């Protein structure tokens, strides 16, 4: 196995028990299991958040991996959130994370309280770069800020647990493209055209993209997904990182991309780095938290469309909106309903022949 491969080893742990006084607090780390050898993973068990007493003054946890803190330039941290689909996570580990380059120094896998065999699978893994967080409940993509806070590398890749195949050293390909294109702020890989996958169906059949070439990199300008996307630590800190909501949240990528663009940086998708994604109800049962989120999302979009149509009936509003771009058209906004429907129901289109 090369430097970037995930190995599988027997595990030996030193268990540090938390005092009972801390267990009485509302949001404790229940216990920390630290490796006794450098090639063994660290595991954290948490309830509703990271307690402040294990954070440093910058809000990041003082738990670095390897020498990534000392050699940040050009290094990558990969963050994966997972919930209740170990059959896909296993493929992500073996066919995507195992094919990373030595530029990837840190890997955080955050389990959002999976009821299946995810925790057992994760604790069977061994790799000097790997840190596992086992959260008590499914908080959706609200976990991203805390997961990123566990890392120190100069670049951060958010990677879906249902990314199931990738070429060798895909992380380095993504990094080099990000560094090559001026003012790039959030760059996603492309996806293999599989209409049964929700994200690929959106990319090839719903969203509009403009192909360009910049600095020798072929890009698609349009919606930038977070299924596999890279940003720099500096830009991440500048825009305030991934956002949170009170309830489980599943749109961190669009919110983050919008913040990056407001800060004057660019977002795009690579044309020449294609990875396989297996998202949506065809491949796994949708979490109840995700179903609730997108049902609510559909209702919010419907209200927005109704208000916009009323506004456009006011004399003079339509031409002024075309000139100043105050808000998207009702038709463009309504397309978001199709996005929500796909996440809830999936695509019934056959795979390309």
Q: Give the pLDDT confidence score for residue 238 in this predicted structure.
A: 98
CB 110 within 8 A of CB 79: yes
Helix 330-345 with 288-312: angle, nearest 10 deg: 170
Which range is least confidently modeled, 8-12, 168-172, 181-185, 223-227? Answer: 8-12
Q: Is the pLDDT of residue 291 over 80?
A: no
Query: Of 177, 170, 164, 150, nearest to 50 (Cα)?
Result: 150
Long-range contacts of 201-205 (CB under 8 A, 24+ apart): 201/280, 201/342, 201/347, 201/349, 202/339, 202/342, 203/269, 205/347, 205/349
CB 293 within 8 A of CB 140: yes
The predicted-structure confidence for 243-268, as pLDDT tens digits, reads as follows 887 655 457 788 899 999 999 999 99
Q: Would you state the structure tokens that stand for residue 149, as one six-digit string?
A: 């806070």
- Across the range 43-58, mean pLDDT stands at 43
Q: Give the pLDDT confidence score for residue 245 in this predicted structure.
A: 76
Q: Could you say which DSSP state residue 121 is in?
A: H
Q: Is the pLDDT of residue 227 over 90?
A: yes
pTM for this one?
0.71
Q: Give the pLDDT confidence score for residue 102 in this predicted structure.
A: 96
**Rg of the chain over all Cα atoms, to the nearest angstrom:** 21
Alpha-carbon span 279 to 269, nearest angstrom: 18
The predicted-structure confidence for 117-130, as pLDDT tens digits, reads as follows 999 999 999 888 99
Q: Give the pLDDT confidence score for residue 44 in this predicted structure.
A: 64
End-to-end alpha-carbon separation of the chain, Å? 35
Specify the fold of 13-277: Spore Coat Polysaccharide Biosynthesis Protein SpsA; Chain A (3.90.550)
User: Higher pLDDT residue, 166 or 255?
Assistant: 166
Question: For residue 59, what are the CA distances in angstroms to 50, 51, 53?
Answer: 10, 10, 10
User: Higher pLDDT residue, 45 or 321?
Assistant: 321
Question: Mean pLDDT in the chain?
Answer: 77
Alpha-carbon span 55 to 329, nearest angstrom: 44
Alpha-carbon span 32 to 43, nearest angstrom: 6
């Amino acid at each position: 196995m090369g430097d970037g491969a995930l190995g599988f080893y027997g595990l030996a742990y030193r268990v540090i028990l938390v005092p009972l006084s801390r267990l009485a607090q509302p949001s404790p780390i229940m216990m920390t299991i630290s490796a006794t050898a450098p090639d063994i993973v660290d595991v954290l068990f948490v309830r509703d958040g990271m307690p402040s007493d294990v954070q440093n003054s910058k809000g990041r946890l003082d738990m670095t991996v390897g020498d990534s803190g000392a050699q940040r330039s050009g290094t990558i941290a990969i963050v994966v959130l997972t919930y209740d689909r170990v059959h896909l996570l296993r493929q992500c580990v073996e066919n995507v994370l195992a094919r990373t380059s030595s530029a990837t120094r840190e890997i955080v896998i955050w389990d959002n309280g999976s009821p299946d065999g995810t925790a057992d699978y994760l604790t069977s893994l061994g790799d000097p770069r790997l840190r596992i967080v086992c959260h008590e409940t499914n908080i959706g993509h609200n976990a991203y800020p805390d997961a990123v806070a566990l890392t120190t590398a100069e670049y951060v890749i958010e990677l879906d647990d249902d990314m199931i195949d990738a070429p060798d050293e895909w992380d380095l390909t993504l990094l080099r493209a990000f560094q090559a294109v001026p003012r790039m702020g959030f760059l996603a890989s492309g996806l293999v055209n599989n209409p049964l996958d929700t994200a690929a169906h959106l990319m090839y059949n719903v969203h509009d993209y403009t192909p360009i070439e910049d600095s020798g990199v072929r890009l698609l300008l349009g919606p930038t997904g977070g299924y596999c996307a890279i940003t720099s630590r500096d830009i991440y800190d500048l825009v305030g990182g991934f956002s949170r909501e009170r309830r489980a949240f599943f749109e961190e990528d669009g919110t983050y991309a919008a913040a990056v663009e407001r800060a004057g940086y660019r977002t795009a998708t690579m044309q020449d780095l294609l990875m396989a994604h297996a998202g949506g109800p065809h491949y796994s049962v949708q979490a109840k938290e995700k179903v609730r989120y997108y049902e609510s999302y559909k209702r919010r979009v419907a209200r927005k469309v109704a208000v916009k149509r009323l506004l456009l009936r006011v004399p003079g509003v339509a031409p002024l909106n075309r000139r100043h771009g105050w808000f998207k058209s009702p038709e463009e906004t309504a397309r978001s309903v199709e996005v929500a429907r796909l996440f809830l129901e999936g695509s019934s289109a056959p795979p390309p022949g």
